[in-house]
Amino acid sequence: MRLDKGLISRAFERFRNIKILVVGDIILDRYIFGKVERISPEAPVPVVEVEKEEFRLGGAGNVASNLSNLGIRVYLCGVIGNDYAGHVVSGLLKEKGIHDITIEDRHRPTTQKARVVAVSQQLLRIDNESKEKIEGRVLEDLLERLDVDVDAVVVSDYAKGVVCKELMDRIRSKGVFFSVDPRPKNKYLYIGADLMTPNEKEARQMQEEESLQSLGWKLKNSLRLKTLVVTLGSRGMALFDREFKVFPARAKQVYDVTGAGDTVIAVLTAGVLAGLDWEEACELANICAGIVVGKLGTASPSFEEIIEYVEEDVKIRGEGT
């Protein structure tokens, strides 16, 4: 491994002077935990008695949350609705110290994914969302807010209508580093990105090809990407920069893989901006994603957790420092 405690400490010191704008689809993840003791008399379904409810930022909100945990100054732009979920999102952003430059759109709901969980098992997911493209006044306001002075932009696209040609053109015209977590149907919007981080399935939908290597190079060339990282789930990630290199996954236990992709794009962008090279940034992203999949829900690791992980790893491998 190329990373060590010194390199990671220096990167974290630099994070404090970095400003990043996250733009895209903001999602509210809602977890309703309860117990089931009987079947409903109304229909053959379980009755969940609610014991606890939790809200977490998802989608672009989770990318912002990951960056903020690293100590970076973060601005979040996207749309929320004029509803309860929208208020919850605003509250979570304030709590985390993320600069809220979201737009309220009265004509759409805040995107929310509610999960009903009983005895650690998901019974049901209820989605509330609009996938309609942003238009008119809301789009104009959104474009205006992108003028904020930052060192980089992260685009987190979940294809819910925020990421569109106008938005991408405005981002490109800022002339700063920009990275994209893509959705295959919007492939051609991402031309010229400094970094794109599809998972393997998304990469294969964007570019048909047998081998991962030729697929990656073709995708990178056709979209004129500076760097491409394809995440491979439990197998880690593949870097296509000047060369091709696979970084094996680093999780110890796996509880919940949701949000691992958000952590990857946040850490890669932050790492490279803080002066790490691509290989070091991939190592750090793998460590952070490994920590995240070992926890329930979307969460982002702290400096202490990362160092602990690296030190344990060094001990296990017997490499010394």
Ligand X SMILES: Nc1ncnc2c1ncn2[C@@H]1O[C@H](COP(=O)(O)OP(=O)(O)OP(=O)(O)O)[C@@H](O)[C@H]1O
Amino acid at 8: I
The span from the CA of 161 to the CA of 25, in Å, is: 8
In the complex, which residue's CB is closest to ligand X? 261
Nearer to Mg ion by C-beta: 112 or 156? 156
Contacts of 277 by beta carbon, 8 Å cutoff, 6+ apart: none
Contact 296, 121 (CB under 8 A): no
In the complex, which residue's CB is closest to Mg ion? 261
Burial class (CB in 10 A: 0-12, 13-18, 19+), 293: buried
Task: Name which of residues 271 to 310 contact ligand X (CB under 6 A).
Answer: 286, 289-290, 293
Token output for 14? 């630099």
Among residues 159, 150, 146, the alpha carbon closest in space to that of 59 is found at 159
Contacts of 129 by beta carbon, 8 Å cutoff, 6+ apart: 109, 111, 112, 160
With tokens 């750090």, the residue in question is: 284
Q: Which of 24, 34, 59, 261 binds ligand X (CB under 6 A)?
A: 261
The span from the CA of 82 to the CA of 99, in Å, is: 19
Smallest gap from Cβ 114 to ligand X, in A, equals 17
Q: Which does 264 bind (CB under 5 to 8 A by kind): Mg ion, ligand X, none?
A: ligand X
Among residues 97, 125, 156, 159, the alpha carbon closest in space to that of 30 is found at 125
Q: Does 58 bind Mg ion (CB under 5 A)?
A: no
Cα dist. 8→2, 34, 306 in Å?
Answer: 11, 40, 9
Q: Which does 293 bind (CB under 5 to 8 A by kind): ligand X, Mg ion, none?
A: ligand X
Smallest gap from Cβ 199 to ligand X, in A, equals 4
State yes or no: is 262 an active-site residue.
yes
Q: Does 261 bind Mg ion (CB under 5 A)?
A: yes
The span from the CA of 28 to the CA of 62, in Å, is: 9
Q: Does 251 bind ligand X (CB under 6 A)?
A: yes
Q: Does 257 bind ligand X (CB under 6 A)?
A: yes
Smallest gap from Cβ 67 to Mg ion, in A, equals 16
Binding residues for ligand X, rule CB under 6 A, total 21
Angle at alpha carbon of residue 297, lines to 59 and 308, rounded to 5°? 105
Helix (H) or strand (E) holding 75: strand 73-77
Binding residues for Mg ion, rule CB under 5 A, total 1
Task: Name which of residues 175 to 234 contact ligand X (CB under 6 A).
Answer: 199, 231-234
Task: Name which of residues 14 to 33 contact ligand X (CB under 6 A).
Answer: none
The span from the CA of 121 to the CA of 241, in Å, is: 40
Query: Which stretch, 50-58, 82-90, 222-230, 260-268, contacts Mg ion (CB under 5 A)?
Result: 260-268
Nearer to ligand X by C-beta: 139 or 189? 189
The span from the CA of 141 to the CA of 150, in Å, is: 18
Query: Which stretch, 73-81, 159-167, 253-261, 268-276, contacts Mg ion (CB under 5 A)?
Result: 253-261
Q: Does 259 bind Mg ion (CB under 5 A)?
A: no
Q: Which of 93, 150, 264, 291 binds ligand X (CB under 6 A)?
A: 264
Q: Does 236 bind ligand X (CB under 6 A)?
A: yes
Query: Which stretch, 39-47, 127-135, 208-216, 261-269, contacts ligand X (CB under 6 A)?
Result: 261-269
The span from the CA of 272 to the CA of 287, in Å, is: 15
Q: Pick the catalytic residue: 127, 262, 277, 313?
A: 262
Contact residues toward ligand X (CB under 6 A) are 199, 231-234, 236-237, 249, 251, 254, 257-262, 264, 286, 289-290, 293
Active site residues: 262
Contact residues toward Mg ion (CB under 5 A) are 261
